[in-house]
Structures are given as structure tokens and as C-alpha cells.
Chains A and B, each alone.
Chain A
Amino acid sequence: MRRLTPYLLALPSWMWLAIFLVVPLAAMASVSLQTGNVIDGFVMTFSVSNYGDAIGGYSTQLVRSLLYGGCATVAMLLIGYPVAYWIAFRGGSRKSVYLFLLLLPFFVSFVLRTISWGFLLADDGILFGTLKSWGLLPAGFHVLATAFAVVAGLTYNWLPFMILPIYVALERVDPRVVEAAQDLYATRGAAFRKVVLPLSLPGVFAGVLMTFVPATADPINAQVLGGTGNTMIGNIIQTEYLVNNDYPTASALSFTLMAVLLVGIFVYARVLGTENVLEAAAR
């Protein structure tokens, strides 16, 4: 009995994974190889061509998703790192207040937040409408329904997920280690490059993972802020499922996206050196 205890304790987690991850994935994998339609039903035909059709038909959206997701991730990194740095090293006794402010938007639903941005950025909305009435912007100026709006929306929505892991990594950097670098003739810039930055890489790694994956797959921002010309792969999957009821194509697209992201993460980990990253994280 005693020997079994750890396994019994782990049982709920395994059950959870089995029911909510393995079963749906298996079901989806099976659907992705079927043919048919909603009315006559779907039959397993091991039709690998579903994948070929899906990728061939929607390669534009797939590439666009990776591009938008990538751009948003880079933007989040550029904005998020300084914010995380500032909170970790200059936050003083108010650190928790700043972190709370960072999480405050999560008290409003994701979709509502995105729609609010739609209002704010509307062609004749509060911001641009006013600026246009003052003659500060040309009448034809618009942000909504552009690639910029989608990337900005993605950046806004996932920024905290970039900041938090970087903050955690920076928070663990002993300030005396930075002082030691300065004592050993490093300027502030050199101390940052040689000591702070490498020590924060595990946080950057986690932050990129936590933002790039959902940002790439997200349908909401493209739908609310992107108009008709900026559909991402998430929108396609959603439409195939809910509008066209073409479950096999939707499933094949989902798996394709998953595969592309997994390969991307793998390459990324290789390039950054997982061993180094994990080693630094384990210190």
C-alpha cells in the first residue's frame, strides 16, 4: 500500500490529462482522417488528403498567423522586458502593487477587452474621431482593420504573460552579483549584458512560449480588430467548425497548427540552448 501511495496521489492528475487532453486529441486525430458531411455523417477513410487540402487551401492564413504571432511576440518582448526590469529592480516596496495593476485587466473578459480596443480605435471613435475633428489627422486615416491593429491587439492581450515570467527571473538575480560585475570593471551596460541578461533568459524563454503559442492561434483579435483582410488560422478553424461544419478540415488544420508550433518551439529551444536555459533556471 505504502509503495502505491505516490501513484494513487498522482492518479487525479493523470485522469485529468487522460480525459481532457488525450481523449479529445485522439478523437480529433480520428476526425481529421474522416470524410463525409454533417447530414450524412462522417466515415473513417484514413484520408490523409484532408491535410494536404487544408494546408494548400489556407497556407496564406497559416503564414500570416505565424507572422502576426511572431511580430506580437517581439513587440511584447521589447515592451515587457523593460517593464519587468523596472518592477524587479526599481519597484521597491510597491512591487506587488505594480504586479496587481498588471493583472487588473484580467478581471474583464478577454473578448470585452478586445472589443473595447475596437471602440477606442474606431475610425470615428473617441480617439481618432476627436483628432480628425481637430484636423490633426487626415479624414481617411484608420487603424482598425489593419495588420497593425491585430498585432497591437495581440500584444496588448498577452503582454502580462510576457512580463510575469521575465519578472520572476529578474527578481531572482542577486543585486550583489550585479555589484560584483561593476566591481570587476564592468560598466552598467556591460554588467547588464554579461550578467543580468543571461540570468534572465529562462524567463524570456518561458515568456515567449507563453505568448507566441496563444497569440498565433488566437481568432478573437483578428475577428474584432482585423476586419476582413487579416484573417488568421484561428478564424479559419473556427469557421470550418462552427459555420461550415467541416470537422475533418478543421481538425486537420488544428493538428497542422499544433505541429508547426511544436516544431517552432523545438527549434527555438535548440537555438537558445535548452540545457543552458534549464540549468540557469534550476540554480
Chain B
Amino acid sequence: MAEHGLIEQSAIELEGVVKEYLSHGEVVQAVKGVTLDIAEGEFFSLLGPSGCGKTTTMRMIAGFEEPSEGVVRLHGQDVTNVPPNRRDVNMVFQSYALFPHMSVWDNVAFGLKQKKTPQEEIRRRVGEMLEIVDLTGREKRRPRELSGGQQQRVALARALVNRPRALLLDEPLGALDLKLRQAMQLELKRIQREVGITFVYVTHDQSEALTMSDRIAVMNDGLVEQLAGPREIYERPASTFVAGFIGTSNLLSGTATGGVLEAGGGRVLVPGHDGEVSVTIRPEKISLSADEPAGDLSALPGTVAEVVYLGTYTSYAVTLADGAEITVFQQNAHDAATTAERGDSVWLSWQARHSYVMESR
């Protein structure tokens, strides 16, 4: 839903948020000034490697950490110093953090009981929620009697049953195997559409973030490197860090003159750029051919060093004349034009618009 033009009301706002820790007598900044504006009903991801500050940022939204500087607002209200039990957001923890001594039912009913909801309403809402997450009939089980996927759904139900105005998810699928993770990704997306609640999702898994998010904030070293929709993040990474972190990408750098970068015995078209540049090209945008391609294309000669057949596509590692290695993905379509063997001399080519150029810093 909410493409970022459609923002009506902000669900969550962070303004210049900084978090400092004292570690061995030294002040360490885990978050170095993050400003975010998350819209109502949005599926928003905080993506980055471990230690980038994404979890700390989320914990400040939940209220487990107090920012050293900056303001946190939920639905326009300043909650910077409000404790977690008085914030209208709920969290799904990384390892679920289910109450081990309570049944599934009591786990899910916990928040409602704390809010002194009438007994009758608790019964109805917990029942409904267990149905949504497909756990009806397992109410009396203890968490450790459930599979990882079921525990995950209990954690989700326990948070969602309170109808929070935003749901925070801290790497909720990290402990599941790949198949289950992919199923849960779609499931989460479905549930989010169904309940219409703002989801803030912390993950280090770029494919997870790309699959589910309306917008993604890519974080690195306590700062947001790029804040955009999945397509834009993938196609137009704002920095070499983002380009390297999201998907596989090839990086070429050198000095461009007149919009052309001479590299690896060929040419890379970088229209409008001069001087030191680095160029990112996604592997699936590159074509392989036996002969030098004609036309207005970037073209580099090289030798196939490795061929890995991966079912829907084949991954080629091509070594350029200067030793740089370029990864190329070719779809294994029915009428696949090129099949190169190890040791073949090939030409790599792509259109100028697929070169993503960054002026070197």
C-alpha cells in the first residue's frame, strides 16, 4: 500500500535520535542520528548488517532504550521518556520470548489481562487471534511443545491481539528454516494487509526486506544510508555500501573522460560523468556474447572462469583483462541464446542505463 507519496499521518517519527553506550569506560554511539517518518499502515523495514544500530533503533521505538538525544513520536505524541508498558506498540522478539510457564492461551491473553479487558472480550479476541494464526486446538500447549513456526505464530498472536497501533518485529523469522521462512514472509504480509497495522521490521536479510517492505531504511554504522522503496534500493543504490549489501553487484571504478570509463580492456558508458567514478552493475543486466557486440553499449572482453548452474539461471564468473571478476546471471530460458563454457573468451555488454554511477568520495 502506502507508496511514499501517500503519507497522511505518521505512525512513528524519529527525529535526530542518538543512542550512546558506555562500554569499558568509553562512549560508543550505537545510533548516530536517525530521522525516520513511518506512515500509518506501512510495512517498513530497517535493514543492515549486525551492529548497524537497527535493533537499538527499534528498541527505542518500543521504549526499552531511552535515546541519548532526539525525539520519538508515536502518532504525533512525544513518547521519548514513556516506559514500554505505556506505549501503544507491541513487539515480536527475535527468539519469541514466549512465557515458558504459560499455555499458548495464557501467552496470547497476557496483554489483554494486563489492560484489564473484560473476561468475555478476552475470550473472544484470543480465540479469534488464534484462528488467524492457525493455532486453534493448541491453546493448552506450552511453548516448548510447539514447533519453531508455531512458536513464531504465538509470538505474533500475543502482540497482535492487543490491536497495537504499530507492530515491531525484531528478526522474527531468523530462527526458522528457509522453506518456513519464505512461507511466513507471505503469511506476515497477508496478516499485515488483513489487520492494517503499521509493521516495523528489523532484518539483516535483504531478500526478506525486498519481498515484504513498502519502504526500507538501509542502515550502516548507526546511520541510515538510504531510505526508499525496494525497487529503488535495488536498482539505484545510494552508496557503494547499499550496492554491496543488497543483492549481488559488480563494482568497476576508474577515471571517466567524456562519459566513458576505460576499464578492463573495454569501455563502460557513464554518460554525463567525468573524473573518478565507481559503477555498479547488477549481474542479471549483463549479456554474454561470443563476439564484440555492436551498438551503443558498455562492452568488456573477458574469460569465463566459473559456470554455476542454478536451475532458473546460470551464474558466470568472468575475469577481465585487468584481473577484476564480474558476475553475470543468465536466465535459463527455453531459447537461451548463450551458453558459455569455462575458459571461453566472451564479451560482456549492457545498456548505459543499467550502469549505476557514483562519483567517488
Residues of A within 8 A of B (CB): 174, 176-177, 179-187, 190, 194-195, 198-199, 276, 279-280, 283
Contact = CB atoms under 8 A, between A and B. Distances in A.
B90 A181 contact: no
B190 interface: no
B90 A280 contact: no
Contact of B62 (A183, A187, A194): A183
A176 B84 contact: no
Interface of B: 62-64, 83-86, 90-91, 93-95, 97-101, 110-111, 114-115, 142, 144, 158-159, 162
A180 B106 CA distance: 14
A184 B158 contact: yes
* List of 4 A-B pairs having minimum Cβ-Cβ separation, nearest first: A184-B111, A176-B97, A185-B114, A180-B97
B111 A176 contact: no
Contacts of A183: 62-64, 84-85, 90-91, 159
Nearest to A276: B101
Given A184-B114, A185-B85, A185-B115, A176 B158 contact: no
Nearest to A185: B114
Contacts of B85: 182-187
Contacts of A177: 97-100
A210 to B, nearest CB: 22
Nearest to A191: B85
B144 A184 contact: no
B100 A199 contact: yes
A90 to B, nearest CB: 16
A174 B101 contact: no
B197 to A, nearest CB: 15
Given A181-B110, A184-B90, 5 more contacts: A177-B99, A179-B64, A194-B99, A194-B110, A195-B99
A190 B91 contact: no
B100 A180 contact: no
Contact of A280 (B91, B93, B100): B100
Nearest to B109: A184
A199 B83 CA distance: 23
A279 B100 CA distance: 10
Overall SS of chain A's interface: helix
A186 B159 CA distance: 13
A198 to B, nearest CB: 5
A186 B114 contact: yes
Given A183-B85, A185-B85, A176 B114 contact: no
A24 B110 CA distance: 53
9 contacts: A177-B97, A179-B84, A179-B91, A180-B158, A183-B63, A184-B90, A184-B110, A276-B101, A280-B101
Contacts of A194: 99, 110
A180 B114 contact: no
A283 B158 CA distance: 20
Contacts of B90: 183-184
Nearest to B161: A184
Given A180-B91, A180-B93, A183-B90, A190 B100 contact: no
A174 B97 contact: yes
Nearest to A187: B85
B107 to A, nearest CB: 9
Interface centre among B63, B94, B101, B142 (most CB of A within 10 A): B101
A185 B97 contact: no
A176 B101 contact: no
A182 B111 contact: no
Given A186-B85, A186-B114, A187-B85, A180 B99 contact: yes
A190 B99 contact: no
Contacts of B110: 181, 184, 186, 194
A185 B91 CA distance: 11
A277 to B, nearest CB: 10
A195 B107 CA distance: 11
A236 B254 CA distance: 95
A226 to B, nearest CB: 41
Given A179-B64, A184-B158, A198 B84 contact: no
Nearest to B90: A183
A136 B95 CA distance: 58
A176 B95 contact: yes
B97 A182 contact: no
A190 B86 CA distance: 13
A199 B86 CA distance: 24
A199 B114 contact: no
Nearest to A180: B97
A182 B84 contact: yes
Nearest to A195: B99
A180 to B, nearest CB: 4
Contacts of B86: 185
A185 B114 CA distance: 6
